[in-house]
Structure 1
């Protein structure tokens, strides 16, 4: 088996909504398992929360997420950003435009000093995203 490194996002009761949002942007296959399915929470309010979810796209992206149980500490936001990069300007610009709907743009997607197009934003769930589109002749 090949080793992989994948982003794993944590939410407080909004993982399903967030992953459905990402699925609408990136397409692919979304699998969601709840706390109830695996009998991992004694709190009936959490039975439909996401114990594990995985979005696997046709482009080869894998994004995972879960809801943190109420009994565990959780702080909104994090010191991690998810980075999307490549040279397909239309594809990456399309992702960017969908990710920023209802979010906060920190750096608009624009030509950067190093020759690429670059933008930074937090989506409506507070997840930070970096998008970098390689300039002509790079990749």
Structure 2
């Protein structure tokens, strides 16, 4: 059996905009469902908010997100980070460039002490990202 890790991001009133942004970064298919679609809220102010969003990129990455209901507490950017890792330098650098644009770079994408290329940024929606590009395997 295979297990997949799918980050799930919470937003306050801008999940649609955020998920469309991530689709512009990663490509793929975006499915969005509102609270109205599932009859999941009696609050008229919530009916058009996103109850569930799922982005499935062509390369298999999956990212989910939703608006937090008004009745629930929401603290932006303090309860998660999203990690992208692998050895495809061109692909991961492209993701880094798009995610960091308009955001805040905490650690520039550069050679790390452990030999990989690593960077940390917070995108323009307040989501913290970690990008790790694996270095070449040590020679024996």
Taking structure 1 as the reference length, what is the TM-score of the superposition? 0.94
The equivalent residue for 1:20 is 20
Matches for 1:71-86 after TM superposition, within 5 Å: 71-86=71-86
The alpha carbon displacement at 1:2 in A equals 4.0
The equivalent residue for 2:61 is 61
The alpha carbon displacement at 1:126 in A equals 0.9
The alpha carbon displacement at 1:80 in A equals 1.8
**CA shift in 2, pair 1:4/1:134, >3 Å:** closer
The alpha carbon displacement at 1:39 in A equals 1.2
**CA shift in 2, pair 1:35/1:99, >3 Å:** same
Moved more, 76-85 or 121-130: 76-85
Q: How many equivalent residue pairs?
A: 138
The alpha carbon displacement at 1:4 in A equals 2.7
Tell me, in whole angstroms, the C-alpha distance in 1 between the residues paired with 2:70 and 2:22.
24
The alpha carbon displacement at 1:12 in A equals 0.5
Tell me, in whole angstroms, the C-alpha distance in 1 between the residues paired with 2:43 and 2:121.
34
Matched residue SS, 1:21: helix
The equivalent residue for 1:31 is 31
Matched residue SS, 2:18: helix
Tell me, in whole angstroms, the C-alpha distance in 2 between the residues paired with 1:94 and 1:4.
23
Structure 2: which 5+ runs fail to align?
none
The equivalent residue for 1:51 is 51
Matched residue SS, 2:36: helix
State the Cα deviation string for residues 65-123 of structure 1 (Å, max 9, x = none): 01011111111112321101111111100000000111110000011111111000111
Matched residue SS, 1:36: coil
Structure 1: which 5+ runs fail to align?
none
Structure 1 runs (4+) deviating above 4 angstroms are: none
The alpha carbon displacement at 1:40 in A equals 1.2
The equivalent residue for 2:136 is 136
